[in-house]
Chain A
Amino acid sequence: MEILDIILNILSTPAILVGLVALIGLILQKKPIEEIVKGTVKTIVGFLVLTAGASFLQTGSLNDFGTLFNYAFGVQGVVPNNEAIVSLGLEKFAVETALIMCVGMIANIIIARFSRLNYIFLSGHVTLYMACMLAVLLNVGGLTGISLIIAGGLLLGLIMVLSPAICMPTMKKVMKTDTIALGHFGGVGYWFAGQIGRLVKGKKEQIKSTEDIKFPQRISFLRDTTVAIGLTMVIFFLIVTAVAMAKGGMNDATIAAMFTSGDTKTHWIVGALIRGLNFAGGVFIILSGVRLIIGEVVPAFKGIAEKLVPNAKPALDCPIIFPSAPNAVLIGFLVSFLGGIIGLFLLGVMNGIGISIVLILPGVIPHFFCGATAGVFANAEGGLKGCVIGSFLHGLLITFLPAICMPVMGSLNFANSTFSDADFSVAGILLGNLAQFVQGNILLIIAIVLFLIPIIYHYIAPKKQKS
């Protein structure tokens, strides 16, 4: 009976189960034994590191931020950061997330092979994040176990081809080739920015590109995520703590406890500084964990997909387009960030006039990576003017979408963090609201039908003649 206990124990220990999935994957690829051992160990360690980062982040600064923000402004303040929110989601749905990711990659290969959406999505980290979000949302819809994993996996596979597909028309103009697609779940936002760029361009033949002007490159040091998160979170903490202090925060027992340990008191400025940098530290740890897990999964997925769907277009992470327009990258970031700040004020005003909505803070990571990508897309369609307007509206978009998405996030809707990129919010809003009305097996059937649509369409609808 002891053996049964051990087996049950393994199946309920997420780290080992995730390692087991990696192990099976490596064996199926017929890797040499040392590679199998290495990959399995790294995956398990990666998962444990991720979990450690999650608890460090929550006890260290995420909870404190929430408490301080609530005291200072009387509403829920949310930092959009994928790593932070995924680490929360994984606490409850680790096993489901890992298996949804597996099924999702298989579903991606099936759609790529048997439909016209022949993209293979190779950004493993965002695939993991999306798998986690689907697990949380579908669980709200009453799905558990096998049906949760199948429904989540099929939907994930579908999103993995839809996101590159809507970006493809502009992506061709950016990369000057149609062999590479964009694989990053800000797709809706990039498409949106590109469309704005087109509107701005109108019927003009010649437009001025962002690359025709001189633009200082010094701000690019913010590409280092640790620096970027550290700096912005320090600023956020300083502002929020200052307001909380001005409102007499030290009279609140929870807040007072943050700045005292034993007999020593920490000045609130120092406390805010350390908490801001702590946040960056937490994300750093989580990123290291994700890197260890994904580092084994993506090469395997790429190898298998290349064999099964040789003609598929690889969908790659957003920085691949940055070298094509370095100025658009920086303008996109700055203007999108500005949009985020103005969006925050608008949300504040809405709260002021009685519309209850969470405040989404301008997260520097989404505004950098998604804003920069939106900037490049908008520039490719509408030049400098398109880039400025497109990125600004994109900044507003990725502020309002997460705010609308928050109420349907199930067990994560009281978290002080949320998913940041546009596709997460769009998928979240659609699926989250659907899950309020449709429950259980019907939800599973809807997932299966949605998955089959592009495949059936491919075999029924006539192919377009190439001119």
Chain B
Amino acid sequence: MSVKSIMCCCGSGLGSSLLVRMNVEKAVKELGFSGIDVQHSSLSSAVNGAADLFVIGKDLEASAGELENKIILDNILDMEELKAKLQTKLL
């Protein structure tokens, strides 16, 4: 399944998810993909179907068990980790 939309999530969907969104947008561009819609939101909005792929921090892993296609970031600020994990999901 090709990924057309990505949702980055955190507790209230205001601060850190927005940071991750900016990183994801940058990473998607640098990896040479286009036409992918990147959003950020709260955990409450993160349900299967809301996006093709979810990106969340490791501290929220326990709250995101039901999400099917997701990337768990050990360090939400690490560009290299994000790029490597995005690469495998987007190909």
B55 at the interface (CB under 8 A from A): no
A418-444: contact bitstring with B at CB < 8 Å (1 yes, 0 no)?
A: 000000000000000000000000000
Query: Among the listed stretches A85-93, A221-229, A241-249, A453-461, which one makes contact with chain B, having 4 or more residues with CB under 8 Å of it?
Result: A221-229
Q: Known: A125-B14, A317-B15. Is A323-B44 also a contact (CB below 8 A)?
A: no
- Contact residues, B1-21 vs A (CB, 8 A): 10-16, 18-19, 21
- Are A223 and B63 closer than 8 Å at their CB atoms? yes
A123 at the interface (CB under 8 A from B): yes
Identify the closest chain A residue to B75 (Cβ). Answer: A323
Identify the closest chain A residue to B60 (Cβ). Answer: A223
A218 at the interface (CB under 8 A from B): yes
B74 at the interface (CB under 8 A from A): yes
Q: Return chain B residues, CB-CB under 8 Å to A365.
A: 12
B68 at the interface (CB under 8 A from A): no
- Are A295 and B15 closer than 8 Å at their CB atoms? no
B91 at the interface (CB under 8 A from A): no
B10-48: contact bitstring with A at CB < 8 Å (1 yes, 0 no)?
A: 111111101101100000000000000000111110000
Identify the closest chain A residue to B57 (Cβ). Answer: A323
A379-396: contact bitstring with B at CB < 8 Å (1 yes, 0 no)?
A: 000000000000000000
Report the Cα distance A369→B42, complex, angstroms.
14
Q: Return chain B residues, CB-CB under 8 Å to A227.
A: 44
Report the Cα distance A464→B38, complex, angstroms.
44
- Are A319 and B15 closer than 8 Å at their CB atoms? yes
- Are A294 and B14 closer than 8 Å at their CB atoms? yes
A358 at the interface (CB under 8 A from B): no
- Are A316 and B44 closer than 8 Å at their CB atoms? no
- Are B19 and A317 closer than 8 Å at their CB atoms? yes
* Contacting residue for A322 out of B21, B57, B77, CB 8 A: B57
- Are A287 and B59 closer than 8 Å at their CB atoms? no
* Contacting residue for A316 out of B15, B63, B75, CB 8 A: B15
Q: Return chain B residues, CB-CB under 8 Å to A184.
A: 15
A282-305: contact bitstring with B at CB < 8 Å (1 yes, 0 no)?
A: 001001001100110011001000
- Are B40 and A323 closer than 8 Å at their CB atoms? no
Q: Return chain B residues, CB-CB under 8 Å to A318.
A: 15
Report the Cα distance A127→B49, complex, angstroms.
32
Q: Return chain A residues, CB-CB under 8 Å to B86.
A: none
B55 to chain A: closest CB distance in Å? 14
Q: Return chain A residues, CB-CB under 8 Å to B41.
A: 291
Q: Known: A322-B57, A323-B57. Is A317-B16 also a contact (CB below 8 A)?
A: yes
- Interface of A toward B, CB cutoff 8 Å: 122-126, 180, 184, 217-218, 220-221, 223-227, 284, 287, 290-291, 294-295, 298-299, 302, 316-320, 322-323, 326, 329, 365, 368-369
7 A-B contacts (beta carbon < 8 Å): A224-B11, A290-B14, A316-B19, A318-B15, A319-B16, A323-B59, A323-B74
Extra pairs beyond A302-B22, A320-B19, A365-B12 (8, CB < 8 Å): A220-B60, A223-B63, A224-B63, A225-B12, A226-B43, A294-B18, A316-B16, A317-B15
